[in-house]
A and B are shown apart, each in its own frame.
Chain A
Amino acid sequence: GAGVSQSPSNKVTEKGKDVELRCDPISGHTALYWYRQSLGQGLEFLIYFQGNSAPDKSGLPSDRFSAERTGGSVSTLTIQRTQQEDSAVYLCASSLGPYSDEQYFGPGTRLTVT
């Protein structure tokens, strides 16, 4: 079946603009994770969704970052008033459930803030 898909694959935006990044998890996977891969910080956890439960937002770096997951499937990560330090590859991963040990990663969205 299809893997995790993310769109867009690349996004260039001007500083101060808002951006939305989309993630389509594998069908049937109830757990969804967002990570960020940047030169300065490496790979870091951002937010976790499990079914219809309240998300774990403990990794979000500032209140400019938010995410939602509609209908327990597609997720959107929104960055408001983008800054140059937001430039990174944003990765989405899904897994069967909260106790599943294997996460399946999407190809990522490369965000460049100019």
Chain B
Amino acid sequence: AQSVTQLDSQVPVFEEAPVELRCNYSSSVSVYLFWYVQYPNQGLQLLLKHLSGSTLVESINGFEAEFNKSQTSFHLRKPSVHISDTAEYFCAVSKITGGGNKLTFGTGTQLKVEL
């Protein structure tokens, strides 16, 4: 079985400041890694994913995440946040083996960007 830990339930940050949202996972098999974002009153959207290859993955809106296998982490970072980044962010994993892509989510981190 897999599990995902997001230690920070809330992260307040001022606009234009850097931010890191932490995610650690546990799994006995290789996994896919994801970050999903849920903006206020909207559905979950895929932000970025790591399937294989480069350990650093980037999104179109400036977020990046680095897969660290030895530390079983997939932390999300942005060098300069904007007020519109205010949302809840969920880290998730799924097994690479067949039978669907059932996601196991962390408990989420609420990012609040303040002026």
The docked-state distance in angstroms from the alpha carbon of A31 to that of B45 is: 17
Contact between chains at A107 and B43 (CB < 8 Å): yes
Question: Is A101 within 8 A of B42, CB to CB?
Answer: no
What size tier do the contact residues of chain B reach?
20 to 34
The answer to whether B105 touches A42, judged by C-beta atoms less than 8 angstroms apart, is: yes
A75 vs chain B, min Cβ distance (A): 14
**A56 located at the interface, meaning its Cβ lies under 8 Å from any Cβ of chain B in the complex:** yes
Contact A105 B98 (CB under 8 A): no
Q: Are A35 and B99 in contact (CB under 8 A)?
A: no
**Chain A's nearest CB lies how many Å from the CB of B8?**
14
Q: How far is the CB of B114 from chain A (nearest CB, A)?
A: 24
Chain B residue, CB-CB nearest to A95:
B101
Report if A98-B43 is in contact (Cβ < 8 Å); known contacts: A42-B105, A43-B108: no
A100 within 8 A of B: yes
- B interface, CB within 8 angstroms of A: 32, 34, 36, 42-46, 49, 51, 90, 92, 94, 98-108
21 A-B pairs within 8 Å (CB atoms) are namely A31-B101, A33-B101, A42-B105, A42-B106, A42-B107, A43-B90, A43-B92, A45-B103, A45-B104, A48-B102, A56-B99, A56-B100, A99-B98, A100-B101, A101-B32, A101-B49, A101-B51, A101-B101, A103-B46, A105-B45, A107-B42
Residues of A at under 8 Å CB distance from B? 4, 31, 33, 35, 42-45, 48, 50, 56, 59, 91, 93, 95, 98-103, 105-108
